[in-house]
Amino acid sequence: MTPQIWVFVGYFFVLCAIGWYSLRATRNEEDYWIAGGNLGWFTGGATMAATHTSAGTFVGTIGVMYAAGWSFAWVLLAIPLSYWFMVAVLAPRFTKQKELTLPAFMETRYYGKGIRGLAGGIILVATVIYIQAQIVAAGLIAHTVFGIPTAWGMIGFTVILLAYTVVGGMIAVVYTDAFQLVVMSVGALFAVPLALRQVGGPGELLSLVESAHPLVFTWETMPATLLLTMGLSFFLGGIATPEKLIRLYAMKDLRTIRRGILFAIIMILSLNMLVFALALCAIVLFPELPTGDLAMPMVATAVLPVTLGAILLAAITAAMMSTVDSLLIVAGSALSVDIYQNLLDPDVTPERRMWIARVGILVVGSVPVILLLSGVGDGELVQFIVLLFTALMAAAFVMPVVGGVVWRRATKEGAAAAMVGGVAATFIWEIFGVASVEPVLLGFLVSAALFISVSLVTEPPPERALEPYFDA
């Protein structure tokens, strides 16, 4: 076996071992969906940072910076600000009334099972399609590393992912995420000095990069509207995506959340800075690439020695897996808890709930790869949906979640209108709008307008819905 294969075999073995340990640690539904709600700052922060960092960071960010230069890096600032907002505004209310899922929050705050089903449905469809896109990327990496057909790569990635997520639930996700964060950091920490040495050091890099790409350190490469709306998309998408909110329930208390988020912010900023450095090196070393998305694979295969290159590719895989496993938990819980148990079979016994949970994850994890193998959702459609995912989540959930905990007058009807209208407006802008403004802007504005206006013209919410989140 080649060193590359050894690196990947060892890495997958650790993931499966964590899955096996987590099976024994999972005793009830709370353990399975929110890791018992008892995570400390380190595991909580690590899983937040690992979930945040996806193939988008390792391949997409490098790709955009390769083409557009340093001005894009400033969009990064939206990320710590969104986490700060989450901790300061949402976490104090979320920790008062713990739930198992985001749609369950919707039921408590908006006093209805229907709205919970609606939220579950939006999450389910959006995440399944997003997972599909990540599986396509994983298939391409497997093809690069092992030389196997892309389809086998996609199946292998899904099988390993499901092996630990189905058996170990959120506990497995959290501990594998901590491990994946280590793999990502090691990959990036080894890659940057070696790439810098090829270029001739940091000083050389800065002068060479300007010769290769004269506009790299100017504001001229991206329109200001695009930069600002991208920042808005990162900020809003960061606040109310279900896979992040659920981690507020998973951490022990408010104090732990504050510390965990500080750790996550430091890790996310550092990883992004390392990735930015790799992007600058790629501009100097490979100035003629046809697309920026090739920059990272080129660094991994042409700059680094074989074993270190494999560790960097493992880091990219780690970034994808740690995001997809968290989305599987969110989509699986939407299917088993919020749709099946909530709407179809409310009297199910606790023992059967655990089985339904595992079947739910198995279903939502298998559907994307089955669809892909039968030729549905491949190619351009997938790229289009990846970019749309954050915008959709922001348009659907920011107003109902944030408005729900800061505004007493917010009603069920307002929240439902905001979700449906926000999703519809995002799609409409994506299809008919101008490319220099991200679709999140219209989606969010429509969602906010509907949320406020519909809430004001409908019956005020009952006291029992407000009591968990507001002081009397």
Partner 1 sequence: MTGQPGMIFYGLFVVCGAIVVAYTLWMIWEERR
By CB under 8 A, name the binding residues for partner 1.
70-71, 73-74, 76-77, 80-81, 84, 88, 203, 206-207, 210-211, 214, 216-219, 255, 258-259, 262, 265-266, 269, 273
CB of 89 to partner 1, least distance (A): 13
Assess contact for 136 and 55: CB atoms under 8 A. no
* Residue with tokens 């391409």, as numbered in its chain: 140
In terms of C-beta density within 10 A (0-12 exposed, 13-18 middle, 19 or more buried), how is residue 427 classed?
Answer: middle
In terms of C-beta density within 10 A (0-12 exposed, 13-18 middle, 19 or more buried), how is residue 414 classed?
Answer: buried
Question: Is the Cβ of residue 88 or residue 159 nearer to partner 1 in the bound state?
Answer: 88
Beta-bridge mates of residue 252: none
Rg, Å, the chain Cα set: 22
CB of 74 to partner 1, least distance (A): 6
Sign of CA dihedral 95, 97, 101, 105: negative
* Residue with tokens 């006093």, as numbered in its chain: 111
CB of 65 to partner 1, least distance (A): 12
CB of 203 to partner 1, least distance (A): 7
Question: Is the Cβ of residue 154 or residue 216 nearer to partner 1 in the bound state?
Answer: 216
**Which phi and psi angles does 385 have, rounded to 5°?**
-75, -35
* DSSP assigned state of 375: T
Assess contact for 174 and 43: CB atoms under 8 A. yes
Question: Is the Cβ of residue 223 or residue 305 nearer to partner 1 in the bound state?
Answer: 223
CB of 394 to partner 1, least distance (A): 21
Nearest to 308 by CA among 221, 445, 404, 193: 193
Question: Is the Cβ of residue 272 or residue 447 nearer to partner 1 in the bound state?
Answer: 272
Question: Is the Cβ of residue 73 or residue 236 nearer to partner 1 in the bound state?
Answer: 73
Question: Is the Cβ of residue 70 or residue 234 nearer to partner 1 in the bound state?
Answer: 70
Question: Is the Cβ of residue 81 or residue 348 nearer to partner 1 in the bound state?
Answer: 81
Question: Is the Cβ of residue 86 or residue 391 nearer to partner 1 in the bound state?
Answer: 86
Question: Is the Cβ of residue 92 or residue 121 nearer to partner 1 in the bound state?
Answer: 92
Nearest to 401 by CA among 441, 364, 346, 444: 444
Question: Is the Cβ of residue 52 or residue 358 nearer to partner 1 in the bound state?
Answer: 52
Assess contact for 171 and 22: CB atoms under 8 A. yes
CB of 273 to partner 1, least distance (A): 8
Query: What does the chain come to in residues?
Result: 472
Q: How far apart are the first and last CA of the chain?
A: 66
CB of 233 to partner 1, least distance (A): 19
CB of 467 to partner 1, least distance (A): 24
CB of 204 to partner 1, least distance (A): 8
C-alpha neighbours within 13 Å on the C-beta side of residue 52: 32
* DSSP assigned state of 221: S
Q: How far apart are CA 219 and CA 189, in angstroms?
A: 28
Q: How far apart are CA 107 and CA 114, in angstroms?
A: 8
CB of 393 to partner 1, least distance (A): 23
